[in-house]
């Protein structure tokens, strides 16, 4: 056995003995011999055996400019030489202040305040608590507004509040006894329309469902939460043009705060810095995370309007303070890297240069529709979902025991590409820095992996 092979064996044994991986069925995990990643280089991940893989899922939708980006590395090292962390509870810090200003300068109009945390789930949790508390104490609030409106197929994180406004039963049904009551409306899943209609002749009946819910429940709804333009973990469900703008209009008409969960779609993923900007929408509260540090460190932020912020101002003894915080809120290292991340966006004109890549991506995805078991290909910018089905005519899904999506991604690893499925939706979401050649490799490897696995399924070999 080579030295590298021995290292893999040793680490795999320790992994199997001590680690519990997220969203992973651990029975059989070690037997699959998954890569153990040791290094990164641009858009490439390198395992302990020296095998190279294109990071086609951006290390879970976080990496923007590639691994070991010099400007981000330098920002991290420079900040380590000054300060790693100091609390923001009653104090402040240089990187946190500078980043807050930069975020507000690029955010949708009307957002003026930044509250830091450390993950998408916590950013959403904060948004929910802010909306709820505002109505309990602000002069313009209404204490009767204690519920939240959200979409089916939604995913907003894994903390209790964010799970309560989620809509993916596979992830969330186990915890239903822990959750608070919400108002769920139908999401625009056009491929599997709940109303058995087709866009655009459907007239976006899903919006009528939302309007009905607003009319009925606006007196008790503190806010509506939505993933703008794309529902990510729901299966890369792309909303029809105009949907988001109408959601904003409904929130305004019925006096319901709009919370935009930009955790997955923000920082260029959809082709704009923030997905709300596709339709000129300004939410009342916005949650961001994932790409905020370019994939380097855990950091999140919840942005709010001045109106909402002012609802928390008062004398000390009124106890209108937002009593919420995290130990590493506004961490100096993370904020310093996030500032550098935004500077790279500007210096390298990342969003502008992305447009030609998006067009190329679209063209490379065209052949997928010819595969016998590809039911739908959904794309918005660099977010792609390829839905696999057992029968294209009936849209019948594969049975869970076939693990079709999982088999496709393990096949892709053999071809030097790392991707992840959402059930039987194969997700492609490479770093924005991906080269056209690397994009071609991703698409070719994914195409072949889907073909090989699903053709084997056809003949009962799985």
181 by Cβ neighbours in 10 Å (0-12 / 13-18 / 19+) ranks as: exposed
Domain ranges of the chain: 35-65+349-458, 73-347
pLDDT of residue 304: 98
Q: With bands split at pLDDT 50, 70 and 90, how would you rate the model's confidence at 172? A: confident
Considering the entire predicted model, what is its pTM? 0.96
Residue 70 CB partners (closer than 8 Å, separation 6+): none
pLDDT in tens, 125-144: 999 999 999 999 999 999 99
pLDDT over threshold 70, residue 149: yes
pLDDT in tens, 21-33: 999 999 989 888 9
pLDDT in tens, 380-424: 999 999 999 999 999 999 999 999 999 999 999 999 999 999 999
Give the mean model confidence (pLDDT) for residues 231-246.
Answer: 98
Q: With bands split at pLDDT 50, 70 and 90, how would you rate the model's confidence at 1? A: low
At the top level of CATH, the class of 73-347 is alpha beta
What CA–CA distance (Å, rounded) separates 290 from 124? Answer: 13
At the top level of CATH, the class of 35-65+349-458 is alpha beta
pLDDT > 90 fraction of the chain, expressed in percent and rounded: 94
Query: Which is it for the CA torsion 91, 93, 98, 100, positive or negative?
Result: negative
DSSP state, 36?
A: -
Q: Are 301 and 102 in contact (CB under 8 A)?
A: no
């Amino acid at each position: 056995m080579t030295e590298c092979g021995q290292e893999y064996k040793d680490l795999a044994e320790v992994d199997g003995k001590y680690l519990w991986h997220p969203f992973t069925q651990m029975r059989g995990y070690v037997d699959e011999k998954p890569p153990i990643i040791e290094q990164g280089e641009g858009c490439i991940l390198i395992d302990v055996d020296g095998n190279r893989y294109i990071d086609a899922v951006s290390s879970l939708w976080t990496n923007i400019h590639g691994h070991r980006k010099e400007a981000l590395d330098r920002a991290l090292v420079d900040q380590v030489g000054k300060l790693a962390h100091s609390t923001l509870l009653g104090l402040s810090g240089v990187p946190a202040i500078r980043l807050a200003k930069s975020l507000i300068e690029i955010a949708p109009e009307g957002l003026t305040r930044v509250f830091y945390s450390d993950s998408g789930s916590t950013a959403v949790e904060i948004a929910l608590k802010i909306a709820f508390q505002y109505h309990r104490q602000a002069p313009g609030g209404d204490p009767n507004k204690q519920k939240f409106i959200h979409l089916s197929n939604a995913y907003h994180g894994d903390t209790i509040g964010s799970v309560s406004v989620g809509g993916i039963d596979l992830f969330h049904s186990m915890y239903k006894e822990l959750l608070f009551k919400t108002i769920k409306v139908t999401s625009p899943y056009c491929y599997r329309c709940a109303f058995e209609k087709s866009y655009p002749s459907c007239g976006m009946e899903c919006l009528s469902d939302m309007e009905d819910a607003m009319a009925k429940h606006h007196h008790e709804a503190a806010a509506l939460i939505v993933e703008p333009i794309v529902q990510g973990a729901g299966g890369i469900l792309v909303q029809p043009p105009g949907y988001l703008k109408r959601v904003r209009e409904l929130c305004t008409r019925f006096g319901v705060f709009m919370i935009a969960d930009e955790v997955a779609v923000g920082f260029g993923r959809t082709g704009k810095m923030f997905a709300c900007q596709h339709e000129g929408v300004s939410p009342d509260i916005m949650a961001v995370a994932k790409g905020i540090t370019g994939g380097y460190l855990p950091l999140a932020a919840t942005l709010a309007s001045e109106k909402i912020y002012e609802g928390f101002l008062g004398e000390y003894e009124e106890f209108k303070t937002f009593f919420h915080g995290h130990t590493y809120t506004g961490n100096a290292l993370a904020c310093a890297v996030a500032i550098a991340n935004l500077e790279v966006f500007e210096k390298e004109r990342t969003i502008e240069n992305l447009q030609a890549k998006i067009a190329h991506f679209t063209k490379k995805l065209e052949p997928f529709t010819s595969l016998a078991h590809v039911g739908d290909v959904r794309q918005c910018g660099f977010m792609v979902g390829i839905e696999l089905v057992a029968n294209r005519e009936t849209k019948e899904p594969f049975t869970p025991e076939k693990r079709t999506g999982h088999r496709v991604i393990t096949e892709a690893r053999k071809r030097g590409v790392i991707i992840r499925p959402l059930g039987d939706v194969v997700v492609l979401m490479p770093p924005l820095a991906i080269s056209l050649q690397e994009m071609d490799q991703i698409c070719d490897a994914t195409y072949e992996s889907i073909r090989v696995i699903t053709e084997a399924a056809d003949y009962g070999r799985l």
